[in-house]
Each structure stands twice: as C-alpha cells, then as structure tokens.
A = this chain, B = another copy of it.
Amino acid sequence: MNFSSKLIENAVTEISRLPGIGKKTALRLTLHLLKQKAPVTSALTEALIKLRNEIRYCAICHNVADKEVCSICESTKRDKSLICVVEDLPDVLALENTNQYSGLYHVLGGVISPIQGIGPDEINIASLMQRILHPPSGTPVEEVILALPATMEGDTTSFFITRKLKDHGVGVSTIARGIPVGSELEYTDEITLGRSILSRIKYSAE
C-alpha cells in the first residue's frame, strides 16, 4: 500500500505485526486513533509501556504478578493444598473465570516437545517439585491437578510430572475430558467421545 505519510506507514507496519491483524485492519485502527482525541492514544501507549516495563512473574507459580508474589499465591482464601499445573498464562485466566477452582496454580511456560527442543529443564518443572517438597506457605500439597493440553506434548508432560511425583505421597489428577456442555453426541470427535465413555461418571442411587 502507498501511504502519503511516513508516520501512518510506520504505525500501520507496527500494528500489523500483531497476530491476526493485517495491513487493512492496521490502517483502520491507525485512522481510528487519528480521529480520536490525543488522550485515547496516550492511554493505550502508556498502558502498553507500563505493562512491558513493570510486569513481573510470580516467584512461586510463574503467573503474571504486579509484585514479587502474585495475588493468587498471596491470597489467604485459596486452598494451598491444591496445585493446578497449566501450560501458560491464558489457561490461568480461563480457569479463574470459571469461578470453580480455589486452589493454587503452577504455570509451566510450555510443554515438553522434543521436536521443538523443549525438554523438562526448559519449562518450570524443577520449581514445581521444589514447592511440592518445600511448600512456601507451610501447608503440604495434597493434590496436583494436571490441566495440560490434550496433545502428544501435553500428555508427555503429564506423564513426566506424574512419574516425578510418584514417591512423594502427592495425589495426581487430570481435568476431565468429555463432551462440552451444549454439544451434541453426533458432532463430537471420536477421541473425545471415546474418552468420555471410558471415564463415565457413576450416578449414586441416593
């Protein structure tokens, strides 16, 4: 595209580096910002600069934090005997938004993937073992919930962690795989359907 202004060209180039945003959308966003009053742009840029400069990662669980320890690890209302292991930050947000889980988290920052050269040492497994063996809160960890992706890499990582925890008297579980609420049986893929019938849940008679 041919822009009559270098300033617009630069802004479009930088915005279009973001995932899922092409040149046309970038141009639309740029012209939108130009139409708005200056504080709209400065609020956006300040939030991004602050985010990038001040963000820290929790020393315990590697979740994003505004200080040394994140608000979840710090909270007195959370069940510190439960640790849910996730691949990355969005997973924590997704689980938090269910309002169904009140334990702690552990963000691995990836999953074991020999093809991509990611071994157990490249992700936060050592610090997971550390906090299970020497809980920073003093409360012993009773259960580790593996909420990793249902891929070969995710399964490998789950298996690796399960084996590591074997002799430490900690329960290990994984989140249920099954048919999403609202989905229909006939449109569910075979693997999910297969898993859902294998891990069927018994109704109690009472």
Residues of A within 8 A of B (CB): 1-8, 10-11, 13-15, 17-21, 25, 27-34, 38, 40-45, 47-55, 63-66, 70-72, 88-90, 92-93, 96-97
Contact = CB atoms under 8 A, between A and B. Distances in A.
A152 to B, nearest CB: 22
Contact of A14 (B11, B48, B52, B66): B48
B20 A48 contact: no
A38 to B, nearest CB: 5
A14 B47 contact: yes
A34 B55 contact: yes
A4 B53 CA distance: 17
Nearest to A49: B45
9 contacts: A2-B96, A2-B97, A7-B55, A7-B64, A10-B47, A11-B48, A11-B50, A19-B29, A31-B88
